[in-house]
Structure 1
């Protein structure tokens, strides 16, 4: 089982959003960075994911979610009304992927990334 870190602005999607979502599950879609897309393709069901709040007053890892689906074509790339629409992407040749992630736990405090990386087993995160 791999460990991952996803970065999000809490005003867009926070650990609290995972906790309050239907079935406590959210599709991780709208990713439009090729390296991040490649990481999504590598994610597997059961992998743990640290949710890192960024671009806000209090930054750090806020909680843990779990990957509950393997990667699938991100449906937002096909929706013309979506800010993530990609006219070069087709159902036959999708460019972007998504995975579903489910809430596991909210941490009692935000943990800075440097502290997470210093934990045994997470040095390469």
Structure 2
């Protein structure tokens, strides 16, 4: 299993909206960065991802699971762009901010710290374990 972090503006697509999408989930649309698209191409069914609110919040608020692997983004005719479907798994007990993550020396190499603008990014198993502990997940 691989781990990821998916970033969204809560005004565009929020954790509450993701939860309301139910067990069917929702396509993670609108990615227009080649590196982020390539990461989406690597995602496999049942991979887990932190759900991260950008903007004023800048914090991890939940965990989602990949329900369907990469396919053509239905919001564009440009075949270069892909989506994956994700389903809400659980909210995090204690949302963790970007500042919290940056203050943890063991996370200094995390993509979120190094390339905070990337909307889809991998998370190593060690990072996943530490951040999961920080947000209060088992």
User: Where does residue 121 of structure 1 map in the other structure?
Assistant: 126
| Contact 1:18 1:24 (C-alpha < 8 Å) held by counterparts | no
* Stretches of structure 2 lacking an aligned partner (at least 5 in a row): 109-124, 132-138
Q: Which residue is 1:86 aligned to?
A: none
1:77 and 2:76 equivalent?
yes
- Find the aligned partners of 1:45 and 1:38 in 2 and give their Cα distance: 16
* RMSD, matched Cα: 2.4
Does the 8 A contact of 1:30 with 1:76 survive in 2?
A: yes
The whole-number CA distance in structure 1 between the counterparts of 2:86 and 2:72 is 15
Give the number of the structure whose residues are more often helix, by fraction. 2
Q: CA deviation at 1:24?
A: 5.4
* Equivalent residue pairs, number: 109
Q: What is the match of residue 88 of structure 2? A: 103
Q: How does 1:1-125 map onto structure 2 within 5 Å? A: 1-23=1-23, 25-56=25-56, 58-78=57-77, 89=78, 94-113=79-98, 114=101, 117=107, 121-122=126-127
* Aligned partners of 1:59 and 1:110 also within 8 Å: no
Q: Distance in 2 between matches of 1:32 and 1:59?
A: 20
Question: How far apart are the structure 1 equivalents of 2:61 and 2:22?
Answer: 20
Q: Deviations over 1:39-88 (max 9, x none)?
A: 110000010010111112x321000000011100111112xxxxxxxxxx
SS at 1:45's partner residue?
coil
Runs of 4+, deviation exceeding 2 Å: 115-118
Give the structure with higher Rg (CA).
1
